[in-house]
């Protein structure tokens, strides 16, 4: 299958975001907004224009209409740019990550929210300033798609420090990666609202028998010979399942929401419910 190009990613994301009713900017905090919250007793100093005279007459005391406050979201995406994101049978995981960045970025600016992107490995590879402009989202998509990945590795100590001290405002933080390593997210989740997006290829979890192969590790760049027979696949799959159970336990412990997207799936379909809540 042909790789996803930048123009196709932007075109698909714009069609989804500007052609669908996603995003609402609703808040559960009462304040100056337009979404009705409740009728409650008047408190000294409140705007008298909010008084509901009909309900006041019924209850024998002054009642006011309150509304949910409109909130401005700071949406920040961290892309985990390790070498394994280069892999994919139908599309590379890097391409899928780029499409997720497009969907989240365009959804944010549609709602007049701030969007920012940081591409991290064991160091900062690229970052965008917080912006409400589509031009910045487009640049973020391109950088995600074109950043070289082979030989890159993840350093969770650095990622944790970056999320805590460089992302200064508490944000809605999306962390995108394949999560083949157990993350350090406890401290990050206490500062930000974190949603982990796990991007994988089905072959990585359930490989099929292919005999002897010469392979190169996309992180260490070391070459080796492996035999993908039934015995190897059985051992590998059992180990991978064990690791994923530990990963899910980690997410659950820290109260982190997760979304799984495979390289043969439409990211918008998997993200739609989340985008509606932005």
Instruction: Give the residue numbers spanning the domain of 145.
Output: 6-17+72-277
Tell me if 41 sits within 8 A of 131, measured CB to CB: no
Same domain? For 60 and 127 the reply is: no
Same domain? For 168 and 61 the reply is: no
Instruction: Report the domain count for the chain.
Output: 2
Same domain? For 214 and 269 the reply is: yes
Q: Tell me: the pLDDT tens digits for 77-109?
A: 999 999 999 999 989 999 999 999 999 999 999
Q: What is the DSSP letter of 131?
A: B
Same domain? For 223 and 204 the reply is: yes
pLDDT score, position 34: 46
Same domain? For 141 and 236 the reply is: yes
CATH number, domain containing residue 273: 3.40.50
pLDDT confidence of 39, banded at 50, 70, 90? confident
Q: What is the DSSP letter of 90?
A: S
Same domain? For 57 and 183 the reply is: no
**Exposure b/e, 224-258, CB count within 10 A at least 16 = b:** eeeebeeeeeeebeeeeeeebeebeebbeebebee
Where does the chain have alpha helices with state H? 6-19, 53-59, 93-110, 134-146, 156-165, 186-191, 202-205, 230-253, 267-277
Indicate whether 54 belongs to any domain. yes
Tell me if 109 sits within 8 A of 137, measured CB to CB: yes
Report whether pLDDT(2) > 80: no
User: What pTM did the predictor assign?
Assistant: 0.81
Dist CA 262 CA 275 (whole Å): 18
Which residues are CB-contacts of 79 (< 8 A; sequence separation ≥ 6)?
Answer: 97, 101, 117, 118, 119, 120, 144, 176, 177
Which residues are CB-contacts of 78 (< 8 A; sequence separation ≥ 6)?
Answer: 117, 118, 119, 120, 159, 162, 163, 173, 174, 175, 176
- The C-alpha angle with vertex 118 and arms to 117 and 122, in degrees rounded to 5, equals 165
Same domain? For 37 and 166 the reply is: no
Dist CA 84 CA 69 (whole Å): 42
Indicate whether 23 belongs to any domain. no
Q: Which residues pair with 224 in a beta bridge?
A: 215
Same domain? For 49 and 149 the reply is: no
Same domain? For 12 and 137 the reply is: yes
The 3-class secondary structure across 35-51, one letter per residue, is EEEEEEECCCCCCHHHE
Lowest-pLDDT range of 27-41, 86-100, 158-172, 256-270: 27-41
Same domain? For 167 and 272 the reply is: yes
Same domain? For 40 and 79 the reply is: no
Indicate whether 22 belongs to any domain. no
Indicate whether 110 belongs to any domain. yes
Same domain? For 63 and 196 the reply is: no
Q: Tell me: the pLDDT tens digits for 235-277?
A: 999 999 999 999 999 999 999 999 999 999 999 999 988 877 6
- Dmax (CA) for the chain in angstroms is 84
In the predicted model, what is the mean pLDDT of residues 65-81? 82
Indicate whether 24 belongs to any domain. no
């Amino acid at each position: 299958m042909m790789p996803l190009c930048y123009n196709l990613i932007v075109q698909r994301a714009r069609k989804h975001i500007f052609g669908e009713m996603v995003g609402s900017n609703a808040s559960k905090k009462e304040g100056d907004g337009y979404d009705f919250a409740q009728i409650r007793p008047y408190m000294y100093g409140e705007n008298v224009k909010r008084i509901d005279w009909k309900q006041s007459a019924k209850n024998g005391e002054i009642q006011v209409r309150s509304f949910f406050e409109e909130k401005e979201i700071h949406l920040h995406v961290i892309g985990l740019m390790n070498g394994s994101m280069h892999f994919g049978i139908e599309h590379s995981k890097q391409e899928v990550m780029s499409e997720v960045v497009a969907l989240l970025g365009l959804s944010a600016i549609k709602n007049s929210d701030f969007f920012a992107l940081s591409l991290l490995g064991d160091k900062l590879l690229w970052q965008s300033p917080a912006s409400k402009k589509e031009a910045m989202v487009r640049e973020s998509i391109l950088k995600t798609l074109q950043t070289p990945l082979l030989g890159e590795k993840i350093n969770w100590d650095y990622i944790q420090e970056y999320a805590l001290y460089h992302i200064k405002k508490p944000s809605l933080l999306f962390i995108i990666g394949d999560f083949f390593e157990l993350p350090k997210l406890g401290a990050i989740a206490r500062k930000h609202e974190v949603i982990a997006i796990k991007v994988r290829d089905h072959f990585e979890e359930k490989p099929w028998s292919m005999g002897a192969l010469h392979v190169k590790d996309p992180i260490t760049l070391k070459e080796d010979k492996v035999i993908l027979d039934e015995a190897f696949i059985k051992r590998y799959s059992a180990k991978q399942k064990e690791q994923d159970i530990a990963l899910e336990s980690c997410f659950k412990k820290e109260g982190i929401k997760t979304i799984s997207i495979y390289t043969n799936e439409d990211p918008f379909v998997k993200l739609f419910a989340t985008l509606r809540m932005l």
